Structure 1
Amino acid sequence: MTLPRDQVQAGLIDELDDFEKLVRSLDADQWATPSRCAGWTVGDVAGHVIGSMADVVNGRLEGLGTPEVTEREVQERRGRTPEQLANECAEVRELGATLLSAFDDAAWEAPAPGGYPGTLGDGVEALWFDTYLHADDMRSALGQATQRNPRSDAASISHIATELTRRGWQPATLAFDGLPEFTVSGGGGMRLTGDAFRFILAATGRGNPAALGLDDSVNLYAD
């Protein structure tokens, strides 16, 4: 179950605005820094995020999020400067805002196009989550502090709960500090509390799940 439509629409656009500012702030050396995303530089991470939004606003939806499409997005933008990608981010953000404004509740709750396994709302929330998480990948590579945003934390936990449920993960209630509660597989079972971002990192292969009393099955990206 995604967050309310108006929150997700506004949240994604705000996150893209922050992402543009991050990209625009970087120099050539920072751009070439290896990231914790295997095989990708900071610039490659930015290329994926901006490429995903470019694909969405241009209707290139088939296979979005698959390794093949993700690699295409990165390859298409290799060699571009931070300023060039920041400018593209600004363009796709504006196009995205226009596109999102056209969706009513019926469209939001309908199946997502392009083969994404969920509703349109799930897909848009996933884009918000992806932008927020990858911004942290870039900052982590550069030795910068995580820039926490409670709204983005909530969207990320909501997305992770949806994905874990889809994968048949054990029933759980995600009750992290300062956020609404989210259920996995109907709720009940274990109750996870504490810092939301530690869980986000563990659930995406960027943190140690054992530190939270969990195993690798919580990792959305585990083989």
Structure 2
Amino acid sequence: MAGLSGQYAVFATLIDGLTAEEWDTPTRCTGWQVCDVAAHVVGNAVDTANGVAGTRTPDEQARAFRGESPDDLAAELRSAAGRLIPLLETLNDRVWERPSPVPGRSVGNGVHTLWYDTFVHGDDIRVALGRPEDRGPGLAGSVGWLRDELERLGRGPYRLVLDGLGEYAIGADGPVLRGDPLRFALVATGRADPAEFGTDVGVNVHLP
């Protein structure tokens, strides 16, 4: 919850005050400009705060919010986070482990997914605009989510040895994927070539 709260604050600051030209800049997300990426992240937060998580696709969220200004979307995200985080703080471990409205995910995993999604899409915007990388807590949080997701999907086996994040086995006796954690996050989400880590597209959690 602390990670998600902090990542929402970072994302709101990132988009707040962007120019019209920056808002319309294409990103590496196919068919999406910066405004679409931001609209999806804000739509996710709003839907979750409103108790309707999973009812709209990313494209539907992007269409619903992309017409708003950067400042208005930043304010909308801060407002949604201000409602969502206190609500999450009331949940006990039993509720955290229950199924979420999104099939295949627990409530806790769903919150972790929001943290990952916000971090990775923030990186999409930073790359599009030539901004510095974010190597704050969201990077480790996103790698942790990707590791869990690879296990959930039955991928691997792999042995992750990522700079500054230690070592983690997914399955037994898998090949070592060694290197920079941000580059791993990009590879594991289909944003970079898996050959960087000596592996194939099976490491991409978004492929069926």
Identify unmatched segments of 5+ residues in structure 1. Answer: 1-8
Identity of aligned residues (%): 39
- Relative to structure 1, the CA distance from residue 216 to residue 100 in structure 2 (aligned partners, 3 Å threshold; closer, same or farther) is same
State the one-letter code of the partner of 1:118. R
Aligned partner of 2:20 among 28, 39, 42: 28
Whether the aligned pair in 1 keeps the contact of 2:189 and 2:206 (CA below 8 Å) is: yes
State the one-letter code of the partner of 1:58. N
- Relative to structure 1, the CA distance from residue 58 to residue 187 in structure 2 (aligned partners, 3 Å threshold; closer, same or farther) is farther
Root-mean-square deviation (Å): 1.5
2:83 — aligned with what?
Answer: 95
For the pair 1:54 / 2:46, whether they are aligned, the reply is yes
Offset of residue 61 of structure 1: 2.2
1:196 — aligned with what?
Answer: 181
1:73 — aligned with what?
Answer: 61
**Secondary structure at 1:54 match in 2:** helix
TM-score by length of 2: 0.94
- Relative to structure 1, the CA distance from residue 95 to residue 183 in structure 2 (aligned partners, 3 Å threshold; closer, same or farther) is farther
Whether the aligned pair in 1 keeps the contact of 2:44 and 2:53 (CA below 8 Å) is: no
For the pair 1:82 / 2:70, whether they are aligned, the reply is yes
Offset of residue 178 of structure 1: 1.2
For the pair 1:146 / 2:121, whether they are aligned, the reply is no
Offset of residue 25 of structure 1: 3.1
Instruction: Encode CA deviations 1:117-166: one digit per residue, 9 max, x unaligned.
Output: 122111111100000000010011112221211x2122111111121112
* Alpha-carbon distance between aligned partners in 1 of 2:28 and 2:93, rounded to the nearest angstrom: 37
Whether the aligned pair in 2 keeps the contact of 1:13 and 1:96 (CA below 8 Å) is: no
The aligned length equals 208
- Relative to structure 1, the CA distance from residue 120 to residue 168 in structure 2 (aligned partners, 3 Å threshold; closer, same or farther) is same
* Alpha-carbon distance between aligned partners in 2 of 1:169 and 1:190, rounded to the nearest angstrom: 12
**Secondary structure at 1:86 match in 2:** helix
Offset of residue 98 of structure 1: 1.1
The equivalences for 1:1-223 within 5 A come to 9-63=1-55, 69-112=57-100, 114-149=101-136, 151-184=137-170, 186-223=171-208
